Amino acid sequence: MSEQLSRNDTVARLRETVAALHAELVRYNLVAWTSGNVSARVPGHDLMVIKPSGISYDDLRPDNMVVCDLDGVVVEGDLSPSSDTEAHAYVYRAMPDVGGVVHTHSGYATAWAACGEPIPCYLTAQADEFGGEIPVGPFALIGGDDIGKGIVATLSGHRSPAVLMRNHGVFTVGPNAKAAVKAAVMCEDVARTAHLARALGQPLPIAAEGVDSLYARYQNVYGQSTVPSPRR
Ligand SMILES: [Zn+2]
């Protein structure tokens, strides 16, 4: 198979994946109107597939996703890419292991961002998924590299795949776009429960050793093994 053909196949598959994952943002109530976006890196090529700007979620289809290079320049598609494209592109350039990026203004997590407060690790599910607190990134204006720089500076060397960008909203990363969407869903879930716990009383942070042990177990052991073990 020629390299061009294989690139076209990969892009076609990722157009479907990225279009379909946007429905998850709606299903989990993470977005209002046209806010929020998902992108995926095209593995092996300096390209990404991202949502078009200002198009209703109901109208997102594989064929109207936009393909950009990692400077955010459109290489395939008639529509303008998401206004957050520069931030996604910066993350892909700076974090080679990241294969998917998601941005939302989901309500509870963004309320923590508005207060500039990291979400302390009160819940085992947060220790599992985020390995500790969910950090806050700097205030940054849209356009240029400032948002991307803030995301990368905050998440580099941090276990959390989610950052609360101050006064703005949530950016999540993952090895692929689905994992980044899962992180966005889980971030909103723990933000909501942490808020409810604060309203109810004084929530108890999990001690660091407990967080480490939960994180290690969840990242390495939890879930279905991909290779079925033989019956004994
Ligand atoms: Zn935003």
CA of 26 to the centre of ligand 1 (A): 15
CA of 224 to the centre of ligand 1 (A): 35
pLDDT in tens, 60-86: 999 999 999 999 999 998 999 999 999
Q: pLDDT band at 225, cuts 50/70/90?
A: low
Tokens at residue 138, please? 């700097």
Q: Which residue has the tokens 């692929």?
A: 176
Output the average pLDDT for the chain.
Answer: 94
Report DSSP letters for 130-151, one per residue. Answer: HSSPBPEEPP--SSTTHHHHHH
* Rounded alpha-carbon distances, angstroms, from residue 144 to 10, 94, 127: 28, 15, 33
Inter-residue contact 15 to 85 (CB < 8 Å): no
CA of 22 to the centre of ligand 1 (A): 15
Res 227: pLDDT:
52
CA of 146 to the centre of ligand 1 (A): 13
CA of 51 to the centre of ligand 1 (A): 13
Report which residue type is found at 150: G
Res 232: pLDDT:
41
pLDDT in tens, 107-139: 999 999 999 999 999 999 999 999 999 999 999
Res 4: pLDDT:
74
CA of 190 to the centre of ligand 1 (A): 20
Res 147 pLDDT > 80: yes
Res 51 pLDDT > 90: yes
CA of 188 to the centre of ligand 1 (A): 15
Residue 53: exposure state from Cβ atoms within 10 A (0-12, 13-18, ≥19): middle
Q: pLDDT band at 143, cuts 50/70/90?
A: confident
Section 161-190 average pLDDT? 98
pLDDT exceeding 70 applies to what percent of the chain? 96
CA of 104 to the centre of ligand 1 (A): 6
Element (H, E) at 162: strand 162-165
- Residues 6 or more apart from 195 whose CB is under 8 A from it? 108, 111, 112
pLDDT exceeding 90 applies to what percent of the chain? 88
pLDDT in tens, 95-108: 999 999 999 999 99
Q: pLDDT band at 144, cuts 50/70/90?
A: confident
Res 110: pLDDT:
98
Tokens at residue 190, please? 């723990």
* Greater pLDDT, 2 or 93: 93
CA of 103 to the centre of ligand 1 (A): 7
CA of 156 to the centre of ligand 1 (A): 21
CA of 50 to the centre of ligand 1 (A): 14
Section 198-224 average pLDDT? 93
Res 231: pLDDT:
47
Which residues, by Cβ under 5 Å, contact ligand 1, an ion? 169
Dihedral angle, C-alpha 38, 44, 46, 48, nearest 10 °: -20
Report DSSP letters for 95-123, one per residue. Answer: -TT--EEEEE--HHHHHHHHHT--B---S
Res 3: pLDDT:
73
